[in-house]
Amino acid sequence: MKKIFLNQLKNIKKDSLRCKKNLLKNNLFKNNNSFYIETDYIFFDFSRNIIDLKTLNNLSSLAEILEVKNNFKNICSGNITNKSENKKTLHTAMRGTLFNLDKAIKDEVIDYKKNLREISDNIRSGKHKSFNGKKFTDVVSIGIGGSHFGTKMVFEALNEYRVNKINLHFISNLDATEANEVLSNLNKDTTLFVIVSKSFKTSETLENAKLAKNWLKKQGNRKNVMKNFIAVTHNFEEAIKFGVDERLIIDVWDSVGGRYSLWTGVSIGLIISIGFKNFSKFLDGAALGDKHFYSKKYSKNIPVIMALLSFYYSRFFGSQSHLILPYDYSLRLIVDHVQQVEMESNGKSLDINGKKFSNISGNIVWGSNGIVLQHSIFQLLHQGNIFIPSDFIISKNVSSRKKDNHHKVFSNFLAHIETLNKGFSKKEADDLYEKKYSKKGLDKELVVKNLTLAGNRPANAFLLKDISPETLGMLLSFYEHKTYVLGLLSDVNSFDQWGVEIGKIMAKDIYKDIKSSKDNKNGSVLLKKYLSKKF
C-alpha cells in the first residue's frame, strides 16, 4: 500500500508542476461542475484552486488508496483506534454515526441524551434551584481548550436560537482578570457554574472552579453552594472530592477526545441556552455531514477535498498555514475551534507507530472575521510572497432585518475571492490609474506596478444555506473529517496530544519554586529576574 501511495504522490507532484506552469497561461479557470459540491446546507466551491481535472482525479485516488471511508467506519465502530492511549474514538456516537456497535452502546447514547435533556430542562424550568431556592438567571461555563472553544463558538453563532432568559457566560483563562470581570456582573444567588473538564485535572479550570466556589461562599452563611455547581467530566472521583453532587455530574466518555467533545455534555451550557431540541438539530446536521463523508465518492466529498487540497499545498507548494475567514460576524469564533481540532490533532512529527518523519502534517490554522481582516492582513494575502490557501465562509439567508447589509458583506466576500484568484492585470491597473489616480501627481509606472496583482492564490468558498443548528453541525463535522483525512495522509494518530503534557508538568514545578522563592532547578535567568526584588 505504501508503495502505491508513494507512486501516486509522484503523479501528483507532476500535476502540481503542470498546474504551476499553466497558471502563467492563465488557463486554469474553470466553470466545470467538477469543482462544486452541493449538500442540503452547504454549497462548496473549490474552483479557485491550482488544480485541473487530472489533478483532482489523482488526488482523489490518494483517498481511495488510503481507504478513507473504511478507516472512518472503523473509528466509528468502537474499535481501539487511538493506539498510543489505547482508546476508542467515539465522538460521532452522539450524532448517531455508529457502525457495527452492540446495542449496549446505542442504549448508552439514548440514556446519555435523556440525562442531558433532563438536566437542562430542570435548570430552565426552575426545578433545579439555586442553594437559596431561587431560579437560575445565569450559567457560567468554566473550561479550557476542547472544553470551551466549540461550545462557545456555537453559542455565539446561534444567538438567534436562544430560547430562554438564562444568560450564558464563559470563563477559561487562568489570568483571574477574566473571571473577575465575568463575576462582577453576576448575582451570587442565581448563578450556576458548570465545571467542564474531562480530566478534572486541568489547573486553569480547577483554579477558576475554586475561585467561583469562594466567590459564592463569600457572603453570609452559605453551606449549600454546591447546589450551584454541575460538573462535566470523566473523573467522577475528583469532581465529587471538589464537592459536586454525584447526580449533577455528566460523564464525558473516555472514548471522546476533548477537541471532539462539543457534541456531548461538554455543551451543557449551550444546551440550557438554546434548548435540547435545537441541540439535537445541531447533532442531526453533524450526522448528515458524517453521512456525506462516508457515502459520497471522493471527488464529490467536501471534507475529503478540503484535506486533499491542504495536503497538496503543503507538499508541493510549501504552504504551512491555512487561513479561515468567516464573513458572518456570528461565526467569528469558528477559527479558535478549528485551530485546536486541526493543530492539536495533526501537529506531529511521529507517525502512528512512533516513527519520526519530517513532512508537515498539521497546518497552522489561523484567521478571524473576514470583513475585519480585509483591513489588516489582506495586503499580504493579495500581494505578499507567502503562499496561503484559505477558506472563505458566508451564509446566504439572513433575517430580512440584515438583508441589505448582508448583500454588502457578500459583495466583499466575492470581490476578494475573485481577486485572489484572477488577480488584476497590467491593463486593468492602467485603466484604474487613469480613472482614479492620474490627477494626484503620482509616479504612474510605480503605481500601476503596485496595483497589479498576480492572482492564482487558492481560496475555497463555503456558501452556507443559513446559520442554523443543522448547518453549523454539518460545517463543524466537515472540519473534523478534514482533519481526520489529513491525519491519514500523514499517517499520524489524530486523536492523541502527548506534546502538551510536558509544559503542564514544568509549570507546576516552576510554581512550586516561585512559592518557595527558590531558584529553579535549571537556573533560568528569566525566573531569577521574575523573582528579583530589584526589577
Stretch that binds ligand F6P, among 10-18, 138-146, 370-378, 404-412 (CB under 6 A): 138-146
- Least distance between ligand F6P and beta carbon 100 (Å): 27
Q: How far is the CB of 143 from ligand F6P (least distance, A)?
A: 6
Q: Which residues fall within 8 angstroms of residue 433, CB to CB, at 6 or more apart?
A: 444, 447, 448, 451
Instruction: State in angstroms the smallest separation of the CB of 232 from ligand F6P.
Output: 8
Q: Which residues lie closer than 8 Å to 390 by C-beta, 6 or more apart?
A: 322, 323, 324, 325, 367, 381, 420, 457, 458, 459, 460
Closer by beta carbon to ligand F6P, 204 or else 491: 204
Least distance in angstroms from the C-beta of 287 to ligand F6P: 23
Residues 6+ apart with CB under 8 A from 138: 166, 167, 168, 169, 186, 187, 190, 191, 192
Going 178 to 175 to 147 to 319, the CA torsion angle's sign is positive
d(CA 365, CA 333): 13
504 a catalytic residue: yes
Looking at the Cβ atoms of 265 and 275, the one nearer to ligand F6P is 265
Q: Work out whether 146 is an interface residue with ligand F6P (CB under 6 A).
A: yes
Q: How far is the CB of 197 from ligand F6P (least distance, A)?
A: 3
Give me the least distance between CB of 146 and ligand F6P, in Å please. Answer: 3
Q: What is the DSSP string of 243-308?
A: T--GGGEEE--TTS-GGG-TTTGGGHHHHHHHHHHHHHHHHHHHHHHHHHHHHS-GGG-HHHHHHH
Confirm if 283 and 473 have CB atoms less than 8 A apart.
yes
CA distances from 193 to 153, 181, 225 (A): 19, 15, 10
Q: Residue 300, exposed/middle/buried by CB under 10 A (0-12, 13-18, 19+)?
A: middle
Give the x/- contact pattern for ligand F6P in 308-347, rule: CB under 6 A. ------------------------------------x---
Q: Which H or E run includes 512?
A: helix 501-515
Using rule CB under 6 A, residue 145 touches ligand F6P: yes
Amino acid 433 reads Y
38 forms beta bridges with 43
Q: How many residues does the chain have?
A: 535
Rounded Cα distance, 222 and 215, in Å: 11
CB of 206 to ligand F6P, least distance (A): 8
Scan for cell 440514556, then name that residue.
111
Range in contact with ligand F6P (rule: CB under 6 A) among 99-107, 143-151, 294-302, 469-477: 143-151
Q: How far is the CB of 354 from ligand F6P (least distance, A)?
A: 20
Q: State yes or no: residue 49 binds ligand F6P (CB under 6 A).
A: no
362 in contact with ligand F6P (CB under 6 A): no
Stretch of 116-124, 151-159, 199-207, 288-296 lying at the interface with ligand F6P (CB under 6 A):
199-207
For ligand F6P, give the closer residue by CB, 95 or 198.
198
Least distance in Å: CB of 58 to ligand F6P?
A: 35
269 binds ligand F6P (CB under 6 A): no
List all residues 6 or more positions away from 14 whose beta carbon is below 8 Å from its beta carbon: none
Crossing angle for the helix pair 149-157 and 334-346, to the nearest 10 degrees: 150
Under the criterion CB under 6 A, does residue 150 sit at the interface with ligand F6P?
A: no
Which residue among the candidates 297, 407, 504, 529 is catalytic per the annotation? Answer: 504
Is 386 an interacting residue with respect to ligand F6P (CB under 6 A)?
no
281 binds ligand F6P (CB under 6 A): no
Instruction: For residues 303 and 364, give the distance between their C-alpha atoms in angstroms, rounded to a whole number.
Output: 18
Task: For ligand F6P, give the closer residue by CB, 48 or 259.
Answer: 259
Stretch that binds ligand F6P, among 72-80, 185-193, 198-206, 425-433 (CB under 6 A): 198-206
Query: For ligand F6P, which is the closer residue by CB, 23 or 510?
Result: 510
Is 210 a catalytic site residue?
Answer: no
Q: Is 160 a catalytic residue?
A: no
Most distant CA pair in the chain, distance: 78
Closer Cβ to ligand F6P, 205 or 483, answer by number:
205
Is the CB of 4 or the CB of 500 nearer to ligand F6P?
Answer: 500
Q: Which is nearer to ligand F6P, 146 or 367 (CB)?
A: 146
Beta bridge partners of 169: 140
Q: Which residue is nearest to ligand F6P (CB)?
A: 258
Q: How many residues bind ligand F6P (CB under 6 A)?
A: 14
> 283 near 350, Cβ under 8 Å?
no
Q: Is 203 in the site for ligand F6P (CB under 6 A)?
A: no
Q: Is 208 in the site for ligand F6P (CB under 6 A)?
A: no
Give yes or no for residue 147 binding ligand F6P (CB under 6 A).
yes
Nearer to ligand F6P among residue 52 and residue 344 (C-beta): 344
Q: Which of 144, 249, 461, 492 binds ligand F6P (CB under 6 A)?
A: 144
**Phi/psi-derived region of residue 243, left when phi > 0, alpha when psi is between -120 and 50, beta in every other case:** left
Q: Which of residues 468-527 bind ligand F6P (CB under 6 A)?
A: 497, 500
* Residue of 61, 89, 97, 197 interacting with ligand F6P (CB under 6 A): 197
Q: Please identify which residue in 198, 281, 332, 406 interacts with ligand F6P, judged by CB under 6 A.
A: 198
Q: Which of 338, 388, 393, 397 is nearest to 371 (CA)?
A: 393
- What is the closest distance, in whole angstroms, from the C-beta atom of residue 243 to ligand F6P in the complex? 18
Interstrand relation of 364-367 and 249-251 (parallel, antiparallel or unpaired): unpaired
Please report the beta strands in 152-211, taking only residues with DSSP state E, as ranges in sequence order.
167-171, 191-196
User: Should residue 265 be labelled a site residue for ligand F6P when binding is judged by CB under 6 A?
Assistant: no
Q: Which residues sit at the interface with ligand F6P, rule CB under 6 A? A: 144-147, 197-199, 202, 205, 258-259, 344, 497, 500
* Residues with catalytic roles: 344, 375, 504
